[in-house]
Amino acid sequence: MSQETTPASLTATEAARRIRDGELTSQELVQSCLDRIEEHEETIGAWVHLDKEYALAQAEAAQELRQSGESLGPLHGVPVGIKDIFDTQDMPTENGTVLHAGRRPKSDSTVVALLRQAGAIIMGKTVTTELAVMHPGKTTNPHDPKRTPGGSSSGSAAAVASFMVPLATGSQTNGSMIRPASFCGIYGYKPTHGLISRHGVLLQSRFLDQIGVFSRTLEDAALIAQVLIAHDPNDPDTRPHATPHLVKVVAEEPPVPPRLAFAATPAWDEFADDDSKQAFTELLEHLGDSAETVTLDKPFEQVYGWLKTIMGADQAMNYHREYKRGKDKLSPVMVDMIEQGQKVLAVDYNQAAATRDGLNRLLSEIFDEYDAIITPASTGQAPVGLDTTGNPIFSTPWTFCGVPAVSLPLLQGSDGMPIGVQLVGPKGDDARLLRTARWLAGAVMEKEV
Amino acid sequence: MSQETTPASLTATEAARRIRDGELTSQELVQSCLDRIEEHEETIGAWVHLDKEYALAQAEAAQELRQSGESLGPLHGVPVGIKDIFDTQDMPTENGTVLHAGRRPKSDSTVVALLRQAGAIIMGKTVTTELAVMHPGKTTNPHDPKRTPGGSSSGSAAAVASFMVPLATGSQTNGSMIRPASFCGIYGYKPTHGLISRHGVLLQSRFLDQIGVFSRTLEDAALIAQVLIAHDPNDPDTRPHATPHLVKVVAEEPPVPPRLAFAATPAWDEFADDDSKQAFTELLEHLGDSAETVTLDKPFEQVYGWLKTIMGADQAMNYHREYKRGKDKLSPVMVDMIEQGQKVLAVDYNQAAATRDGLNRLLSEIFDEYDAIITPASTGQAPVGLDTTGNPIFSTPWTFCGVPAVSLPLLQGSDGMPIGVQLVGPKGDDARLLRTARWLAGAVMEKEV
CB contact under 8 A, B346 and A348: yes
pLDDT (mean) for B107-126:
98
Per-residue model confidence as pLDDT tens digits over B338-360: 999 999 999 999 999 999 999 99
Per-residue model confidence as pLDDT tens digits over B249-279: 999 999 999 999 999 999 999 999 999 999 9
Per-residue model confidence as pLDDT tens digits over A115-150: 999 999 999 999 999 999 999 999 999 999 999 999
Which is the CATH superfamily of the domain at A260-448? Amidase signature (AS) domain (3.90.1300.10)
B346 contacts in A (CB within 8 Å)?
309, 313, 316-317, 341, 344-346, 348-350
B246 has a pLDDT exceeding 50: yes
Helix A274-287 and helix A430-448, axial crossing angle in degrees, nearest 10: 90
Residues A224 and A123: their CA atoms lie apart, in Å, by: 15
pLDDT band of residue B4 (cuts 50, 70, 90) is low
3-state secondary structure of A261: strand
Per-residue model confidence as pLDDT tens digits over B23-69: 999 999 999 999 999 999 999 999 999 999 999 999 999 999 999 98
Pick among B207, B339, B345 to test the A interface (most A CBs inside 10 A): B345
B150 has a pLDDT exceeding 60: yes
CB contact under 8 A, B346 and A317: yes
A242 contacts in B (CB within 8 Å)?
none
Cα of A51 to nearest chain B Cα, Å: 37
**pLDDT at residue A4, rounded to an integer:** 61
Torsion angle defined by CA atoms of residues B6, B9, B14 and B16, in that order, rounded to the nearest 10 degrees = 80
**pLDDT at residue B448, rounded to an integer:** 62
Does A447 or B256 have the greater pLDDT score?
B256
Considering the segment(s) B1-449 as one domain, its CATH architecture is Alpha-Beta Complex (3.90)
Cα angle, residue B21 at apex, residues B17 and B24 outer, rounded to 5°: 80
Query: Is the peptide bond between A205 and the residue preceding it cis, with omega within 30 degrees of 0?
Result: no
Please name the residue of chain A whose CA is at the shortest distance from the CA of residue B237.
A237
Residues B277 and B281: their CA atoms lie apart, in Å, by: 6
Out of B316, B346, B357, whose CB is closest to A236? B357
CB contact under 8 A, B346 and A341: yes
Residues of A near B (CB-CB distance < 8 A)? 236, 309, 313-314, 316-317, 320, 341-351, 354, 357
Per-residue model confidence as pLDDT tens digits over A178-208: 999 999 999 999 999 999 999 999 999 999 9
Pick among A235, A337, A340, A345 to test the B interface (most B CBs inside 10 A): A345
CB contact under 8 A, A341 and B351: no
A141 DSSP 8-state letter: B
Residues 6+ apart with CB under 8 A from A43: A140, A145
Please name the residue of chain B whose CA is at the shortest distance from the CA of residue A357.
B236
* Complex prediction ipTM: 0.87
Please give the C-alpha separations between residue B384 and each of B70, B129, B140, B148, B276, in angstroms, as whole numbers.
49, 17, 10, 7, 15
Residues A399 and B407: their CA atoms lie apart, in Å, by: 44
B314 has a pLDDT exceeding 50: yes
3-state secondary structure of A77: coil
CB contact under 8 A, A317 and B347: yes
CB contact under 8 A, A350 and B317: yes
Per-residue model confidence as pLDDT tens digits over A77-120: 999 999 999 999 999 999 999 999 999 999 999 999 999 999 99
Per-residue model confidence as pLDDT tens digits over A158-180: 999 999 999 999 999 999 999 99
* Ranges of CATH 3.90.1300.10 domains, chain A: 7-243, 260-448
B311 contacts in A (CB within 8 Å)?
none
A354 contacts in B (CB within 8 Å)?
317
CB contact under 8 A, A314 and B345: no
pLDDT (mean) for A377-384:
97
B354 contacts in A (CB within 8 Å)?
317
Residues A222 and B176: their CA atoms lie apart, in Å, by: 50
pLDDT (mean) for B191-197:
97
pLDDT band of residue A19 (cuts 50, 70, 90) is very high
- In chain A, the N- to C-terminal Cα span, in Å, equals 20
Q: Note the pTM of the prediction, 2 decimals.
A: 0.91
**pLDDT at residue B240, rounded to an integer:** 83
CB contact under 8 A, B317 and A351: yes
Residues A214 and A179: their CA atoms lie apart, in Å, by: 11
B342 contacts in A (CB within 8 Å)?
345, 347
Cα of B317 to nearest chain A Cα, Å: 5
The sign of the dihedral angle between the CA atoms of A75, A81, A87, A89 is: positive
A1 has a pLDDT exceeding 70: no
Residues B81 and B213: their CA atoms lie apart, in Å, by: 10
Residues 6+ apart with CB under 8 A from B285: none
- Looking at A26, A154, A171, A176, which residue is catalytic? A176
For chain B, give the mean pLDDT: 96
Out of A320, A349, A357, whose CB is closest to B346? A349
Known active-site residue A71? no
A313 contacts in B (CB within 8 Å)?
345-347, 350
Residues of B near A (CB-CB distance < 8 A)? 236, 309, 313-314, 316-317, 320, 341-351, 354, 357
Residues B317 and B138: their CA atoms lie apart, in Å, by: 27
pLDDT band of residue A243 (cuts 50, 70, 90) is confident
B2 has a pLDDT exceeding 60: no
B345 contacts in A (CB within 8 Å)?
313, 342-346
3-state secondary structure of A133: coil
CB contact under 8 A, B344 and A346: yes
Among the listed residues A163, A273, A262, the one whose alpha carbon sits nearest the alpha carbon of residue A216: A163
Out of B313, B343, B347, whose CB is closest to A350? B313
CB contact under 8 A, B346 and A313: yes
Out of B236, B345, B354, whose CB is closest to A346? B345
Backbone φ and ψ for A63, nearest 5 degrees, come out as: -65, -40
Please name the residue of chain B whose CA is at the shortest distance from the CA of residue A346.
B346
Out of B236, B346, B354, whose CB is closest to A346? B346
**pLDDT at residue B449, rounded to an integer:** 45
Considering the segment(s) A7-243 as one domain, its CATH architecture is Alpha-Beta Complex (3.90)
Q: How do strand B79-83 and strand B121-126 relate by DSSP bridges?
A: parallel
3-state secondary structure of A42: helix
Residue A433 near residue A406, CB atoms below 8 Å: yes
Out of A317, A341, A357, whose CB is closest to B351? A317
Strand-by-strand arrangement of the A167-172 sheet: A47-49, A121-126, A79-83, A167-172, A210-215, A187-190, A405-412, A418-424, A372-376, A260-263, A291-294
A236 contacts in B (CB within 8 Å)?
357
Per-residue model confidence as pLDDT tens digits over B216-239: 999 999 999 999 999 999 998 998
B341 contacts in A (CB within 8 Å)?
346-347
Known active-site residue A152? yes
Percent of chain B with pLDDT over 70: 98
**pLDDT at residue A448, rounded to an integer:** 61
- Looking at A32, A83, A162, A171, which residue is catalytic? A83
For chain A, give the mean pLDDT: 96
CB contact under 8 A, B345 and A347: no
CB contact under 8 A, A357 and B314: no
Residue B222 near residue B247, CB atoms below 8 Å: yes
Pick among B238, B350, B360, B364 to test the A interface (most A CBs inside 10 A): B350
B309 contacts in A (CB within 8 Å)?
346
Query: Is the peptide bond between B152 and the residue preceding it cis, with omega within 30 degrees of 0?
Result: yes
B361 has a pLDDT exceeding 60: yes
Per-residue model confidence as pLDDT tens digits over B397-444: 999 999 999 999 999 999 999 999 999 999 999 999 999 999 999 999
**pLDDT at residue B70, rounded to an integer:** 84
Which run of H or of E encompasses B32? helix B26-44
CB contact under 8 A, A346 and B320: no
Residues A396 and A171: their CA atoms lie apart, in Å, by: 14
Catalytic residue set of B: 83, 152, 176
